[in-house]
Amino acid sequence: MIPAKQLLGEIAESLRKVIAPAIAEPFPKAQAFMAAVILEFVARQVEERSDIADEKREALGDLFGSLSRLDRVNGIVGKGAVDEAELCRLIERLYGERKRLGEEAFGAANGAVRETLRKLLDQELKVAGKGEG
């Protein structure tokens, strides 16, 4: 997702340089310029939501921990960082090693991965979905 500060800055710029100059009526023109000014202030107030990153980190930690305890699968769990980039690599390794793992082990690992993917997605949907309320 594009960082909130960057987006607010770009919208302010669009209001100031594209939208406001194209408006002929004085009142809506002034409103567009003022919206740009306010958005620049708002951009200084906002912070990215830390709860989303925290929840994702926890879900990833749980997944890598449980996969390390799964027979046959533990060999393909990386020893490095526990993050989304490593999860991408793990998914690729799982499919790549599917034959060697066998359908039962692959299915168990893939099921656990998908459960975590759902948790990660739900975190992103807190912002991009229809809202939490």
Dist. CA 126–CA 52, nearest whole Å: 8
* The pair of three-digit structure tokens given for residue 57, joined into one six-digit string: 């980190």
Judged by beta carbon, residue 71 or residue 115, the one nearer other proteins is 115
78 forms part of the interface with other proteins (CB under 8 A)? no
Sole binder of other proteins in the list 2, 27, 45, 132 (CB under 8 A): 2
Contact mark string toward other proteins, 20..59, x via CB under 8 A: ----------------------------------------
Q: Which amino acid is at 41?
A: F
Sole binder of other proteins in the list 10, 48, 71, 104 (CB under 8 A): 10
1 forms part of the interface with other proteins (CB under 8 A)? yes
Which residue's entry shows tokens 């989304």? Answer: 84
100 forms part of the interface with other proteins (CB under 8 A)? no
Alpha helices in 15-102 (DSSP H): 20-22, 26-45, 50-68, 84-96, 98-101
Sole binder of other proteins in the list 85, 99, 132, 133 (CB under 8 A): 85
In Å, how far are 28, 47, 53, 78, 82 from 85, measured between CA atoms?
A: 46, 23, 14, 11, 8
Which residue's entry shows tokens 């919206």? Answer: 35
Vertex 74: Cα angle to 68 and 77 (nearest 5) = 80
Q: Which residues make up the interface to other proteins (CB under 8 A)?
A: 1-2, 6-7, 10-11, 13-14, 18, 83-85, 87-88, 91-92, 94-95, 98, 113-115, 117-118, 120-121, 124-125, 127-129
